[in-house]
Amino acid sequence: MKTTAASSSSSLTCQTKIAVVIFQLLLCFSVEAHSHSRSHSQRDRIVRLPGQPGVGFQQYSGYVTLDAKKQRALFYYFAEAETDPHSKPLVLWLNGGPGCSSLGVGAFSENGPFRPSGEVLVKNEYSWNRARDNLVFLQKWFTKFPQFTNRSLFITGESYAGHYVPQLAELMLEFNKEEKLFNLKGIALGNPVLEFATDFNSRADFIWSHGLISDSTYKMFTSVCNYSRYVSEYYRGSVSSVCSKVMNQVSKETSRFVDKYDVTLDVCISSVFAQCQVLSPQQVAETIDVCVEDETVNYLNRQDVQKALHARLVGVHRWAVCSNVLDYELLDVEIPTITIVGKLIKAGVPVLVYSGDQDSVIPLTGSRTLVHELAEKLALNTTVPYRVWFEGQQVGGWTQVYGNMLAFATIRGASHEAPFSQPERSLVLFKSFLEGRPLPEEF
């Protein structure tokens, strides 16, 4: 997570280095497009995942070596577009954490083509590879995949990806000054961390307005010790007694039986500590597995699944949704990336910031404030006034657009991981973003 791209390797922070690694991965595919793409494709092609239903598109997964001597590589999972993949854009999806898996969280719990259900996989009817794009999920600690030289590229992600997606986009623009390698068409950021204090401190208003804490606790949470101060102290290993007291009270009142990633949803009682998501029929028309994260962990730890994915465990004995193997500099969270977003817009890269509106981790109010302030700073006029948008005959959320380059949108009833909790509405939003058209304003 960085505010600006560093001019030399010595000044790179840990999170910018992660962005450089991802960039090198994409560069590798571009350079090797003609000479190695066929052999790489055959080597990485997935014949069939265990328990997978029949599909008409190809899948690939495997590794790209970044440092052979140090045995460093990145792992990816790639799903072709359902129709005419060779003419469709490439979309890279990154999950947050930092250190959480774009494979396990993104591909198998959110917007990929399948979701685990017991011993088998079921088809995700709202997978983003149905939105006329080729979809790449990049695991943060392994990778390699087919080529798309000069193909339109979109970079998307959520949460902590609000740091490394803008960084990666900025690095691509820097490299394009020397040689046009990437046709970057836009970035989309879901419930992103863009500015530490604004994003984190909006949590108090959100949970208070939803009735999760009392008036007196809200007062303490906004005056005695706010959330950004607590996190800053926690990462430095020196939590003050006053902040400890405030946070203990906040935790007591909010209860461990409320999912902070979606405060309106029930929890899976047997998996409270794993924060397994549960959705009620009133909120989502389609039936969604109440413990898809748990099932994903079980599925991806099967030896037959790892073999089909051409995957191997590195540095761990069991695959987990989020990894502490990665050496992240946690205090980089305090460095804002909203400034990079501004640079991208100035360079002509469209940006969409969207929020699941039931998330208390990175609430919509902070994101909306940051987007509006950035629009004012860039002197962008409002081109689409704040209004509802529709998915089918229901309100899908609200949106506002500035200068046809910067857009903010909410997804109604969605969690921190919006494609998981509101898959159909998320797909409508994503398709509009890819096609560069306004969100539906009527049904």
Q: In the chain, pLDDT over 70 holds for what percent of residues?
A: 82
349 vs 280, more confident: 349
315 vs 257, more confident: 257
277 vs 436, more confident: 436
pLDDT at 316 over 60: yes
**Catalytic residue at 127?**
no
pLDDT per position as a tens digit, 168-210:
999 889 888 887 878 899 999 999 999 999 999 999 999 999 9
pLDDT per position as a tens digit, 158-167:
999 999 899 9
Question: What Cα–Cα distance (Å) separates residue 225 from each residue in 111, 239, 248, 251, 339?
Answer: 37, 11, 12, 14, 27
Task: Give the list of residues 6+ apart from residue 80 with CB closer than 8 angstroms, or none.
Answer: 57, 58, 59, 129, 134
Distance CA 40, CA 62 (A): 9
**Catalytic residue at 67?**
no
pLDDT per position as a tens digit, 15-74:
555 555 555 555 554 444 333 444 556 788 999 999 999 998 989 988 877 777 877 778
Host H or E run for residue 92: strand 90-94
- Domain range list for the chain: 1-195+294-443
Residue 13: band (very low, low, confident or very high) from pLDDT cuts 50, 70, 90: low
Decide which of 3.40.50.170, 3.40.50.1820, 3.40.190.10, 3.30.1280.10 is the CATH code for 1-195+294-443. 3.40.50.1820
Q: What is the CA radius of gyration of the chain?
A: 21
**Catalytic residue at 416?**
yes
Catalytic residue among 44, 416, 426, 432: 416
pLDDT at 280 over 60: no
Whole-model pTM over 0.75: yes
**Mean pLDDT computed over every residue of the chain:** 83
What is residue 328's predicted lDDT score, i.e. its pLDDT?
75
CA nearest neighbour of 166 among 344, 23, 17: 344
CA nearest neighbour of 74 among 134, 33, 17: 17
Catalytic residue among 159, 202, 232, 323: 159
Residue 171 tokens, joined: 């690095």
Residue 410: band (very low, low, confident or very high) from pLDDT cuts 50, 70, 90: very high
Which range, 39-43, 314-318, 342-346, 432-436, has the best average confidence (pLDDT)?
Answer: 342-346
Backbone torsion region of residue 367, taken as left when φ is above 0, otherwise alpha when ψ lies between -120 and 50, otherwise beta: alpha
Host H or E run for residue 171: helix 161-176
CB 277 within 8 A of CB 415: yes
Catalytic residue among 109, 359, 360, 415: 359
